[in-house]
Amino acid sequence: MSPGPIMLDLAGTALDAVDRELLRHPAVGGVILFSRNFESPEQIADLASSIHVLREPGLLIGVDQEGGRVQRFRDGFTRLPPAGRFGRLHALDPARARAACRSIAWLMAAELRAVGVDFSFAPVLDLDRAISQVIGDRGFAAQVESVRELAVAWMDGARHGGMASVGKHFPGHGGVAADSHAELPTDARAFAEIEREDLAPFRCLIDHGLEAMMPAHVVYPSIDRRPAGFSSIWLRDILRGGLDFQGVIFSDDLNMMAAGAGGGYVERAQSAIQAGCDMLLICNNRPAAVAIVDAFGEHHDPVAQLRQLRMHGRGQVDRVSLHERPEWQRAIRYVAQLEEFETLALGLDDPTSPERAE
């Protein structure tokens, strides 16, 4: 069965009969996991296996495992540093920062691949201008060159660990203060400024073969009145045409407040597909997910399906063997050194707050 364009979430730590029926629907192509789905590495490996065996080719499994305050799996996994820590090291020692970033990205990928997860929604390519609280130290740095170098290192490390990368949030979320999870941000800058600064890391990673991209739920009115994730100007004309991006375009979560600019849930999904998205995320709203899945039962896009195949993870080692590898030991040393480099200030997610796609 060919993969569909919908990527949805689960409520618990194991599949029930309703989940299995929904995941077998031809419109479904993947599952995004959250910390509520996680109890232990062994449990998440069982859950991933039960998802993968439902379909052939298997459904994609993704997770937000950036590091810092956005890391869904923690107990039994290495606590990863926030991206901004690499940027601060880069300002003092660029070569060491690139090496640490590459090594820790390998660690992130290898640990996830050991439990059957296909990819992480990372790296964040937004410039951290100290404007956007939702980005903050999720971004590598404010300087374009630092972000480009570290993002390439991250992507290279993830590939070595058997994992594709997802650059986000195109064309850049770092220029607005508003949080698109709660409201619709507007970035009034001219295209020339966005192109010169914010687009530079995205262009660089595309040139290095970036496998996937996630657009921002942000309006850039000098280019289009629609948010980037619903804009054919941004996705088809600029991203596909101007930047020659050939990978998967994931929508950001269609349940986010800013996505309301696209209309009702089914209308949002249709608008995102028409704009150029290949896969649609719908999280924390099962009725909306079911409505979208039903609406896309006849949807068929062979080109998008071929792109999705690049997102499947490659290779897998058991966790015991992983911990014996010199790459793992080197990465752990880098994690410890980065902890010593500055005072720990992760600002981890409040475990009582609702989960969301990042």
Listed residue (41, 143, 140) closest to 86, CA to CA: 140
Regarding beta strands 248-249 and 212-215, do their DSSP bridges make them parallel or antiparallel, or are they unpaired? parallel
Phi first, then psi, for residue 66 (nearest 5°) are -70, -40
Hey, what are 51's tokens? 């998802």
| Cβ atoms of residues 220 and 171 within 8 Å | yes
Q: Of these residues, 181, 217, 253, 312, which one is catalytic?
A: 181
Active site residue 25: no
Helix (H, G, I), strand (E, B) or coil at 227: strand
| Cβ atoms of residues 250 and 7 within 8 Å | yes
CA-CA distance, 78 to 76, in Å (whole number)?
7
Residue 33 pairs with which residues in a beta bridge? 63
Which residues, other chains included, contact 244 with Cβ-Cβ below 8 Å and sequence gap of 6+?
206
Listed residue (168, 204, 202, 171) closest to 187, CA to CA: 171
Residue listed under structure tokens 């606590």: 79
Q: Which residue type, as a one-letter code, is found at position 318?
A: D
Active site residue 181: yes
Q: Of these residues, 137, 252, 253, 278, which one is catalytic?
A: 252
User: By 3-state DSSP, what share of the chain in percent is helix, strand and coil, each rounded to 5?
Assistant: 45, 10, 45
Q: What is the set of active-site residues?
A: 181, 252
